[in-house]
Amino acid sequence: MTMTSLVRGAMGASATTRSYDRVVLDLERIRSHFPAFDNGSEPRFFENAGGSFACRQTTDALNRFYTETKVQPYSKYQMSATAGELMDHSHERWAQALGVTNSEIVFGPSTSMNTYVLSHAFAERIGPGDEVIVTNQDHEANTGATRRMVESTGATLREWQVDPSFGLLGLDALEGLLSAKTKLVTFPHCSNIVGTENDVPAICQLARQAGARTIVDGVSYAPHGFSDVGAMGADVYLFSMYKTFSVHQGLMVLRDELAHELPNQSHYFNADVARKRMSPAGPDHAQVASAGAVLDYVEATTPNHEGDLRRACEAAKHAWQEHEDALLQPVLRNLP
Ligand SMILES: Cc1ncc(COP(=O)(O)O)c(C=O)c1O
């Protein structure tokens, strides 16, 4: 169901993994959660570069919002209050899933828009004499806006390059680039070409020791699992929910400290609301309200989580990755 398989452990992958319940995927049950399988037997293409078919929990939530609560939310009358509660519920659910707080969940139209807004905010904090590190493993969405921001501010861009001898981003090379001048490091959670997973906690720790902020592009990783972002130590973690059986929105975890440090990019009257500061437009209420529904699907496929959503996500991640690893074996065997 996912586009690439992750190559784990190559860089001593993340120490954030908690103990988890082993779940063997029941594929028939999983298929029953996807309306795309309802009509006929022709193949369904669940590659997710351009967006995967959504699970039933997502499509039901969207349908309910559009037919029952499609009004201006957060007002006092019942329908409006319910619309607002549904939106807040998505923030709560994702905060639990990713190990962060409600105010740290920011929804935007896409990851590209979220990085674009972020880079505008950083542009007001970065200038000549400062340095920013990007990688040549990044997707354009994570690196392009940052590179343009660096150029426009007169700061210096440093590129952390994949070592051609072993095909990974090496921590030694990062250490050589970091200095007291480094203000920001952007990098992907995993390669979107070969799937190698970067050691996010170790990278974030090195950056933090140098006094730099970190932006992690989790778009390629998220279809393979929702991580404990809170434990990773990143200041920003982004992914696109339309690749994870959810709505067509970008999710950005923006840790509170940085949210208040960066200048507000939203309406002046939103300046005090952390989750609105990097979200300039009025949000898509229906999609925000339906964004959390995919987590009901995660819970439905991981029976022993005892109401602990973080635990359910961890179990699902391991089950998905175990399944992908098995699917990948014939490909790996036949590579020259
Ligand atoms: C690794 C990676 N980062 C970022 C993006 C941009 O995401 P969005 O389409 O939500 O702007 C993509 C899109 O394919 C991607 O593959």
Model confidence pLDDT, tens digit, residues 226-241: 999 999 999 999 999 9
Kindly report the backbone phi and psi dihedral angles of residue 297, in degrees, each rounded to the nearest multiple of 5, phi listed first.
-65, -45
Is 108 strand, coil or helix?
strand
CA-nearest of 228, 238, 247, 283 to 95 is: 228
Q: Assign residue 256 a region: left if phi > 0, alpha if psi is -120 to 50, beta otherwise?
A: alpha
* Residue % of the chain over a pLDDT of 70: 94
- Average pLDDT in the chain: 91
Name residue 213's beta-bridge partners: 184
Name residue 186's beta-bridge partners: 215
Cα 303 to ligand 1 centroid, rounded to whole Å: 31
> Going by DSSP bridges, is the β-strand pair 213-217/156-160 parallel, antiparallel, or unpaired?
unpaired
Task: Please compute the mean of the pLDDT values over residues 179-202 and round it to a whole number.
Answer: 95
Confidence label for 167 from pLDDT (cuts 50, 70 and 90): confident
The reply to whether ligand 1 has any atom less than 6 angstroms from the CB of 141 is yes
Task: Please compute the mean of the pLDDT values over residues 75-91 and round it to a whole number.
Answer: 98
Tens digits of residue pLDDT in 112-133: 999 999 999 999 999 999 999 9
Tens digits of residue pLDDT in 303-323: 888 889 999 999 999 999 999
To test the pocket of ligand 1, the residue of 186, 193, 240 to mutate (highest count of ligand atoms within 8 Å of its CB) is: 240
**Which protein residue's CA is at the shortest distance from atom 4 of ligand 1?**
141
What span, in angstroms and rounded, lies between the C-alpha atoms of 295 and 309? 8
Strand ranges inside 206-315, DSSP E? 213-217, 236-240, 250-254
Per-residue pLDDT at 176: 98
Per-residue pLDDT at 90: 98
> Going by DSSP bridges, is the β-strand pair 156-160/182-188 parallel, antiparallel, or unpaired?
unpaired
Is 254 strand, coil or helix?
strand
- What's this model's pTM, rounded to 2 decimal places? 0.93
Asked if the model's pLDDT at residue 14 lies above 50, the reply is no
Confidence label for 163 from pLDDT (cuts 50, 70 and 90): very high
Query: Which ligand 1 atom lies nearest to the CA of residue 113?
Result: 11
Please state, as a whole number, how many other Cβ atoms lie within 10 Å of the Cβ of residue 74: 12
